[in-house]
Structure 1
């Protein structure tokens, strides 16, 4: 029988965990239709386990018309036929358990598909049983939308419906109407979908757009975003969504009580966890702190702070220290890449020759941060962003804003497994849903397995290093004053102290140890030379150093 201490450790498995994100339609196809499926995920689970991660996160696989690649759900309690069946999902769960992997699934509950039976009934009249399940509002006297709210996907955040003769709200596509969380029946229904998967054994949920559940009941319009006089902070995006200060269409105070209800449901099961996606502009870290505080809401959240182009010591230190100052009793989850952003090797690399070096430095840095971390499929191969033509695009966001913005398909291309196989081993079919980039083929898993110092082997070594030092999993983090070109900090737990120094520049840098750290003992950091010379750490470009204090 497990001891109480062991149970407590398992209940907190998410704290400091490494989570591997799978984009199902691009991971592994077993049917030859050019689309990844759940059986393909099951087939590749041993590979994922070999990386040394703790859990997998599956992007949506629910029944969907696929207007937004599955983020428009028409049945929360079933698997879309393109991915397989519930029986396939159950088989995957068994294999994941055998390999010691937890399973997290994407829960998209701020909105549904417009083909969901709930919405079909809701739009049929103003008096049906689900009439108030979505956000409906009358037009202004001149026929225009009730508020100035915008859609992230471009244009107004309201769509006219000729049957009800009202507008409905949509934060995303017109085909993704927002649910009305002010309605208690909606809350109960969504908690019921969560319970369905809990009962099926999943270990947690990644909560899509977790701060978008509630809207302002008074339907007040958003004010314009006010930036510094020099324009500092203004996004370079082509989307006018960033021109509003989103005070009323998301991040409403009522969300707190719903998150508490959600947490209460999960607490009825052993060892379950949530990770929320928070997109709240300059308020994101404050929102994250609120949503993860008090041990009665979300277990952890992530923001977009490290998912942009900045990769400098000054920027990282600013973000990391702000998190420590703001998120005082919550927990954060870090990532450099995911299914919505340009792959970080492309974002952070200045010349092609340094791509592998950037990939290795990035995961080493990520694995030393305080918090949990997410890895996105293919980043362990050092994959770059694919350059696709307009004709290849499937992402509605990319199609809408082309050519100013190329969309999200460039990071969603199929995984490359076998360098010598058709379509790099992703499918035996004649065509893939997105092209397999030619430049990715040489980086396939089987090719990197044969190279001792490949990015793939480095990922395994970096994650093993993290796991072998408890201070890196959930220890304290203290920053050391240095010049803005270097990032230096100490991770500590139960008296075990590790010093890390990172040079993110393209020039050699020296770091003189402070007097209190002068007696430290350098230790091997996978993939990097010791670079220690009598109290001075000598760092090559894009280099890292570790020592025990």
Structure 2
């Protein structure tokens, strides 16, 4: 049977955080040449694409999410020639390349901002969000920054405040301005011409805001501990303006002028479900979107999965979801969701569950090894949010630590120099070379699971139905192209028994920690309806 689906539909995408993947020049920081040297490992997993977190020129106030030149590589990561070599090697291995684009804000060192702040009447004066102070000198409104404090910083050169939803070093662009939109489309074309296969659009729902700058209303008390002023508001006016979908249609039109390109949005916040659907609707906006259903979930429960799945039913005009259990902004799932003594069984179950979801799936570097969260001491923190809110916020640094390649090598094979973040004390035992030698390691299981997913259209693009979501057991049915699969997961550490009403109908295809329909703690099984064998 010929596979006519777009390459990205149902794809597995592997996220690489460039600072932490592999260091080729011995300065303790990962780089593009290091990534290129290890792409065989990525291709060997069976993924369709790599997603690279920002590697663009940046002062690194937020480690690349503060861009000072969108069309150049920061010297710490290499050169444009290094990027071209990475793309060439990836394509030779059959991998697509997706890059991050950060368009809600730039660095305060970007030439656009330098010009904008110089006067109130220069050509880029309105490319950012500037407003006069209130009569008593306070900021224009009550908007708060995600990273703490008001979303406004005074600039004496213009005698005005400028807006920033994140760090003060990340001034908010005026996404409503047609010249700003065109500038970003020109940047997109630059990377598409260099062979990039897709964009992941960072925090795109922050790109436009209420031009009238109305105050955000207070958020109702939900009983949760609030660690940031940002959490005290409903974000009605500082983000998510109705004009954003129109700009996304311009992005899609540009991408559609190239062959087989892909766009995915990151969408966070209380209104993310509505926005993800809006941003991917009607086949003329983005291809996909993902939020934080799992990334910030305190526990992986049947209810959490069932509620996430229910948000994306197959329907006309409905977008296509993407899912991630881990990324650079969230603590490692192994450490969030289970105890160390159950990590092996849990990791196997988690991988099979991720592969069973309808949509694209993202793997974060090291997730195939079962990397744990590293407890980075305060004096070694790099993450500005963690430093500002320590110890009341979860450090993103603990999920950004170096990839362990070789258990007995200096720096575990990541670098010959002292790494920019400390290496996890248990990561030597999880190193790639050690897992390669162990046939029962998670690395081999990951390859097997991804090959299994790829071999079953029901998992790649089929319908999904929640059969059961109890306290411990989660049961999903996947159906497509003449195949029906029953996906059963014990999301508890205690043994469970679950069986379908007609157990003789089902033939187990993949299982972990099960004996028939008896499930050990974190056991999992995928069975196929007999008579539908492929």
TM-score by length of 1: 0.94
2:70 aligned counterpart, secondary structure: strand
The 5-angstrom pairing of residues 534-549 of structure 1 reads 537-549=517-529
Deviation, structure 1 residue 356: 1.4
* Counterpart position of 2:532: none
Deviations 1:107-134 (A, max 9, x none): 0111000000000000000011100000
Query: Which consecutive residues of structure 2, in runs of 5 or more, have no partner in the other structure?
Result: 530-534
* Residue of structure 2 aligned with 1:461, choices 448, 473, 476: 448
Match 1:293 to one of 281, 288, 293: 281
Map 1:340-355 onto structure 2 (within 5 A). 340-349=329-338, 351-355=339-343
- Please identify, of 402-411 and 357-366, the stretch whose mean Cα deviation from structure 2 is larger: 402-411
Aligned residues: 528
Give the corresponding residue for 1:497. Answer: 484
Q: Say whether residues 1:424 and 2:424 are aligned partners.
A: no
Once the two structures are superposed, what CA deviation does each residue of 1:235-280 show, in whole Å capped at 9, x if it has no partner? 4441221221100001110001000001101000000011100012
Cα distance between partner residues in 1 of 2:481 and 2:170:
49
**1:411 equivalent among 393, 399, 415:** 399
How many angstroms apart in 2 are the aligned matches of 1:65 and 1:518? 59
Report the counterpart of residue 327 of structure 2 in structure 1: 338
Q: Which residue of 2 aligns with 1:523?
A: 508
- CA RMSD in angstroms, aligned pairs only: 1.6
Cα distance in 2 for partners of 1:519, 1:420 equals 49
Contact 1:235–1:242 (CA under 8 A) maintained in structure 2: no
2:244 to 232, 242, 255: 255
CA distance in 2, matches of 1:241, 1:101: 39
Query: Over residues 450-474 of structure 1, what are the superposed CA-to-partner deviations in whole Å (9 max), with x where a residue is unaligned?
Result: 1111111111111111111111001
Equivalent position of 1:472 in the other structure:
459
Q: Which moved more, 1:351-360 or 1:339-348?
A: 351-360
Deviation, structure 1 residue 214: 0.2
Question: Could you say if the C-alpha distance between residues 109 and 327 of structure 1 is closer, same or farther in structure 2, counting changes exceeding 3 Å?
Answer: farther
SS of 1:324's equivalent in the other structure is coil
Give per-residue Cα distances to partners, 1:181-234, cap 9 Å, x unaligned: 11100000011111100010100001000111101011101001125xxx3xx5
Question: 94, 98, 101: which is aligned to 2:92?
Answer: 98
> Is 1:240 aligned to residue 225 of structure 2?
no
Q: Structure 2: how far apart are the matches of 1:236 and 1:206?
A: 31
Q: CA deviation at 1:324?
A: 2.5
| Shift, 1:406, TM fit | 4.3
Q: 1:392 aligns with which of 380, 391, 398?
A: 380
TM-score, normalized by length of structure 2?
0.96
Cα 1:482–1:301 change in 2 (3 A) is closer
2:162 partner SS: strand
Change (3 A) 1:95 1:51: same
Partner of 2:219: 225
> Of the candidates 12, 35, 43, which is equivalent to residue 37 of structure 2?
43
Q: Distance in 1 between matches of 2:152 and 2:452?
A: 50
User: 1:275 is matched with which residue?
Assistant: 264
Whole-Å separation in 2 of the counterparts to 1:544 and 1:524 = 11
Q: Structure 1, unaligned stretches of length 5 or more? A: none
